[in-house]
Amino acid sequence: MPKTVLITGASSGFGAACAKKFAEDSCSLVLVARRSDKLEQLKQQLQSKCNIHTVALDITDPVAVEQALAQIPAEFCAIDVLINNAGLALGLDTADKADFSDWETMINTNILGLLRMTSHFLPGMVQRNSGHIINIGSTAGSWPYPGGNVYGATKAFVQNFSRNLRADLLGKKVRVSNIEPGMAETDFSNIRFKGNSDKAQQVYEKAQALTADDVADIIYWVTSVPPHVNINSVEVMALCQAWGPLAVDRTMED
What is the DSSP annotation of 169-238?
A: TTTSSEEEEEEEE-SB-SSHHHHHTTT-HHHHHHHHTT---B-HHHHHHHHHHHHHS-TT----EEEE--
The class level of CATH for 4-236 reads alpha beta
Give the per-residue pLDDT at 254: 67
For residue 220, indicate whether it is catalytic: no
CA distance 176 to 163: 8
Sheet of 81-84, strands arranged across: 52-56, 28-33, 4-8, 81-84, 131-136, 174-181, 233-236
Q: Which of 145, 151, 204, 220 is catalytic?
A: 151
**What pairs with residue 179 in β-bridges?**
136, 234
CA distance 207 to 24: 30
Predicted model pTM: 0.96
Q: What are the backbone angles phi and psi of residue 187, rounded to the nearest 5°?
A: -85, 10
Q: Model confidence over 126-178: pLDDT tens digits? A: 999 999 999 999 999 999 999 999 999 999 999 999 999 999 999 999 999 99
Largest CA distance in the chain: 69
Is residue 36 within 8 Å of residue 44, measured between CB atoms? no
**What pairs with residue 136 in β-bridges?**
179
All residues at 6 or more sequence positions from 56 whose CB lies less than 8 Å from its CB, including other chains: 33, 34, 35, 36, 39
CA distance 221 to 101: 37
pLDDT tens-place values along the chain, 254 residues long:
789 999 999 999 999 999 999 999 999 999 999 999 999 999 999 999 999 999 999 999 999 999 999 999 999 999 999 999 999 999 999 999 999 999 999 999 999 999 999 999 999 999 999 999 999 999 999 999 999 999 999 999 999 999 999 999 999 999 999 999 999 999 999 999 999 999 999 999 999 999 999 999 999 999 999 999 999 999 999 999 999 889 999 998 76
CA distance 58 to 8: 10
CA distance 40 to 34: 11
Instruction: Mark out the alpha helices in the chain (DSSP H runs).
Output: 13-23, 36-46, 62-70, 100-106, 114-128, 149-168, 188-192, 197-204, 212-224
All residues at 6 or more sequence positions from 6 whose CB lies less than 8 Å from its CB, including other chains: 29, 30, 31, 32, 79, 81, 82, 83, 117, 121
Give the per-residue pLDDT at 45: 97
Give the per-residue pLDDT at 46: 97
